[in-house]
Structure 1
Amino acid sequence: MSSSLLVAACAVSFVLLCSAATSPASAAVYGVGGGLLSIPSNDSLAHCPSRCGDVGIDYPFGIAPGCFREGFELICRNTAKTPKLFLGDGTTEITDLGYRYVLAQIYFNITVRPGTDTYNISWVAPTEGITIDHYNTFYVIGCNFDATLFEYGTEDLIGSCMSRCDGEKAPIGGPCNGMGCCFIELPRVLRGFQSTIILRSDGIPVAQTDPVHPGIMAFMSSDYYISNTSDLFLGWTNTSNVEGTVLSFATIDQPSCERARMNNTSYACSPGSNCRNVSSGGYHCYCSGYEQGNPYLLDGCTDYNPKYKEHCSTSCGDMKIPFPFGVEEGCFANERFRLNCTEGNLTVCELGEAQYHVTAVSLDDGTLTVGNMMNDTNYEKEAIIVQTTDTGRDYSFSGPVEDRFDLSMEYAIVIRWAVTNLTCEVAVQKNTTYACRSSHSYCLNVTHRKEFMGYRCKCSPGFEGNPYIEDGCTDINECLLPNYCNGTCQNLLGNYTCTSCPHRKEFDPIKKKCVTSAKQRNLLLGKTVRSNSQHAK
């Protein structure tokens, strides 16, 4: 049977990756305003506030002296209801935060005033190093206007759009196509922007063109609303209905990774992490490959967590979920092994925006067997894996490229996996993250064709179970298995002995022991019959 092979990409961009090889200073080094210039440990930040209202706070960001990297101070305001988190300007609200990204509200509600046709809005990052990611789109919602967008400071034209309602009210839902909504896509990252909006009522007062939505709404967000504006019109001035703006950030105490590494007292990237130059100036840090964690903390990048937790769920419906896979937070060894259990007890493997229905997990073979989540059938020609990059954005890949996920398709999609992109020789030296935890297990290098994928674990011969947990590999009692021994069997740890049945005996597979052979029984029966016959005479 022929099968096609599909492999998903790990590479995100063709840039020079600079590995951090410097050692941090032993004592904390402070910059301006109580910001840190040295690399802190988790323990040294234990006293720092980790939340502001509903938003978690990850270093290098922080809200108290000694809790943030210089240039990454945020403001937490105790409002009447729930505390809210803001950038340093105190006006741009943050709705989500990670060490790789900021999700903020850049949103304008413009009240149209009689006799005024021109309105100007602007936003600029409160500190250097923060930029509007170029994956954002600028939207303007309303009727009968022309909008232009300029880069802040340079006044370079970014783009323009217009909306007309032709005397009707703005449509609720549908695409953003110039009827009550228009958009401008960003060609590059921006430090800030200015926009001019000019009303074009063509003799019809704006309030009469759409009495329900008489004003203008403008904001930065993802490209989602290009094809669906329903959420926008359902809550005209409710910013909670609008997905926030993705902001990128960079460490700017030095203009590049190369310059930053020359001063190890202020270099932001922890040993073992990588550094990448930012086109707008400065640099940012990230954990390499599929490592997880925070590259701005000492020992912050971890590629694998071998600690198995007893309380974790081990099944989803009738399907077993063995570690290193897991369906609950903290129950999987790293993000690559996260699975989801739906309300209908279906096991789902989510790879970015691609979802696969998992039908089997094999630790022994190192495979997942999956199908199409949408209709529970198999993909015919192509599968897509989406890899989250160091900017927090998603990129989709397909085609003949290599990764530690190897997809081959016959009647199902089989995903071969490895633990991390290390050889067994290197992995075994890292005791704290080495995956093969059972004493009766061994390490196996995994390759696809001639490409190295990483390593995985197997139970030693004579054992079965889970090599990824302590005492997970247990002895196989070969004496209980069919066709292993047709004689006297003795089970040993990881092995067994088999002694052939003695002369005139044979193995009974039902009784599983040596019994008198049929030939011998017939001979004995014959002798008994003759003896009885002679005795009767």
Structure 2
Amino acid sequence: MQLSLVVILGAAIFTTIAAAPALPQALPGCRDKCGDLTIPFPFGIGDGCYLRPEFNLTCDQSTTPPSANLTGHTIRISDFYLAEAELQVMTFTSRDCYDTKGLRTNRNTPILWLPPPYTISDTKNKFVAVGCDTYALFQGFRGEERFITGCMSLCDSLGSVEYQDSYCSGIGCCQTSIPSGLKNCTVQLSSYYNHTSIMDFNPCSYAFTVEQGQFKFNSTSFQQLNSISQIPMVINWEIGDETCDIAAQKREGFACKADYSKCVNRNTNINGSGYICQCLPGYRGNPYLPHGCQDFDECKALNPCSIGSCVNLDGNYSCKCPKGYKNDGTNKQSCIKDEPSNLLLIISLGMFHLRVTGIIIFMVIYI
């Protein structure tokens, strides 16, 4: 599903990333939609429609449109990135607000707890804090080990923020990376001066973990964030707690069912990390379903041959080159100008030299 809850700075804060065509499908006979969201196997709604209990989803009809949640949790799924074994979920923002006397008027400390096999993606998210009198802490656990990171953001005027427009540099906005393999996170916000010196344009601080590319900072972020309670974040998932080699030996429980699929070990820095399934290059679809990976027609979708005509092949393509051009290399996926090689040129010059020499010798002998 393409994310609709996005706000672009100036007009909104979050930007929508275009979704790929909806190729993943549910098991035959199972519900494949919750509102506008397509539910791909191994996830499913209802008995017999998901691979394992941890992939069981609930479709909440009380929201508009209906929303898919992890069963037994209030974690709302807003998109599936099946090839990467990732979910886009909506998480709450943290805020810390003060009045003109420096008294706190509003504060919340959202906590996210993820059940196995889900972890917070360290490669697809950033921890962000917004405010001109702000320091923010991010705390999470990997097993029993605790990790803490954070950043601070300061500024004296709205003009200094406008100068930093679209940059999270520490002036009005700061950001940092998060550790890998975390099962939960807690966000805490505080202020150095209770926002008293900047009350006219920034009475609140904000902090959140957000999917990269979904937040762009500018001077209107203070007002926009005041009306936003949830933002998109990415979490990882995996199949079981075995490597590909061990899982494949069991056959019956092996999740990579499709022809033209492969198994990839997932490394989340947690003992017993499992695996994920992907379609082979040149194929698209759902590797968890029999016959779920289908040939991807690069010629129609990408038109990759800038010179010549494109010929689709099973799992690949080639470029048929016009006269005066030849395929570049052995993969036949591009055309280059067909120019004589240096060797051919040397041979041609040698033959020309022999002919000239022969003519001269003939003339010397017989004339």
Q: TM-score range by the shorter chain?
A: 0.5 to 0.7
In the alignment, which residue of structure 1 is the partner of 2:15? Answer: none
1:109-161 deviation per Cα after TM superposition (whole angstroms, max 9, x unaligned): 42436369997543231332444242211111223122232332555445321
Q: How many residues align?
A: 289
Name the structure, 1 or 2, with higher relative contact order (CA <8 Å, separation 6+): 2
Tell me, which stretches of 5 or more residues in structure 2 are unaligned? 1-23, 319-325, 335-367
Query: 5 Å matches for 1:287-326?
Result: 287-304=279-296
Cα shift at 1:231: 7.4
Q: 1:256 aligns with which of 221, 243, 252?
A: 243
Contact 1:169 1:212 in 2 (8 A): no
Q: Write out aligned runs for 1:355-374 (5 A).
A: 367-369=305-307
Q: Where do residues 90-489 of structure 1 align in structure 2 (5 Å cutoff)?
A: 90-100=73-83, 101-112=86-97, 114=103, 120-153=109-142, 154=144, 156-157=146-147, 159-166=149-156, 171=161, 173-186=165-178, 188-201=180-193, 205-206=194-195, 209-211=198-200, 213-224=202-213, 228-229=217-218, 232-233=221-222, 235-239=224-228, 242=231, 244-252=232-240, 254-272=241-259, 273-280=261-268, 281-304=273-296, 334=297, 336-339=298-301, 367-369=305-307, 419-421=313-315, 448-449=328-329, 451-452=330-331
Over the aligned positions, Cα root-mean-square deviation in angstroms equals: 3.7
Task: Provide the C-alpha distance between the structure 2 equivalents of 1:57 and 1:46, rounded to a whole number of angstroms.
Answer: 12
Which whole-Å CA distance do the structure 1 matches of 2:252 and 2:139 have between them?
39
- Length-normalised TM-score, structure 1: 0.47
Structure exhibiting the larger radius of gyration computed from Cα positions: 1
Q: Deviations over 1:378-431 (max 9, x none)?
A: xxxxxxxxxxxxxxxxxxxxxxxxxxxxxxxxxxxx89775345699xxxxxxx
Distance (whole Å) between structure 1 residues aligned to residue 184 and residue 29 of structure 2: 34
Aligned equivalents of 2:81, 2:149: Cα separation in 1: 30
Indicate how the Cα distance of structure 1 residues 230 and 90 shifts in structure 2: closer, same or farther if over 3 A, else same. Answer: farther
Q: 1:104 to 1:226 in 2, by over 3 A?
A: closer
Residue 447 to residue 287, structure 1, CA distance change in 2 (3 Å): farther
Q: Which residue, out of 13, 37, 60, partners 2:42?
A: 60
Counterpart position of 1:81: 64
Partner of 2:14: none
Classify the secondary structure of the residue corresponding to 1:262.
helix
Identity %: 24
Q: Quick check: 1:169–1:211 contact (8 Å CA) kept in 2? A: no
* Cα deviation 1:479-514 (Å, max 9, x = unaligned): xxxxxxxxxxxxxxxxxxxxxxxxxxxxxxxxxxxx
Q: Structure 1: which 5+ residue stretches go unaligned?
A: 1-40, 305-333, 340-348, 350-360, 370-413, 425-445, 456-537
For 1:112, give the aligned amino acid: C
For residues 317 and 95 of structure 2, the distance between their equivalents in structure 1, rounded to whole angstroms, comes to 59
Conserved? CA contact 2:138–2:149, under 8 Å: yes
Task: Give the secondary-structure state (helix, strand or coil) at the position aligned to 2:97.
Answer: coil
User: Is the 1:420–1:454 contact (alpha carbons within 8 Å) kept by the matching residues of 2?
Assistant: no
Query: Contact (CA 8 Å) 1:174, 1:229: kept in 2 or not?
Result: yes
What is the rounded CA distance, in whole Å, between the counterparts of 1:224 and 1:107 in structure 2? 18
Per mean C-alpha deviation after superposition, the further-off stretch among 116-125 and 258-267 is: 116-125
Q: CA deviation at 1:283?
A: 0.5
Structure in which a larger fraction of residues adopt helix = 2
**1:54-109 alpha-carbon deviations (Å, 9 max, x no partner):** 22211111121111121211221112532122233532222222433311112324
- How far apart, CA to CA, are the structure 1 residues paired with 2:63 and 2:81? 25
Partner of 2:31: 49
Task: Tell me how far apart the structure 1 counterparts of residues 200 and 247 of structure 2 sit (CA, whole Å).
Answer: 56
TM-superposition CA deviations, 1:174-200 (whole Å, max 9, x none): 312222211112353433323332311
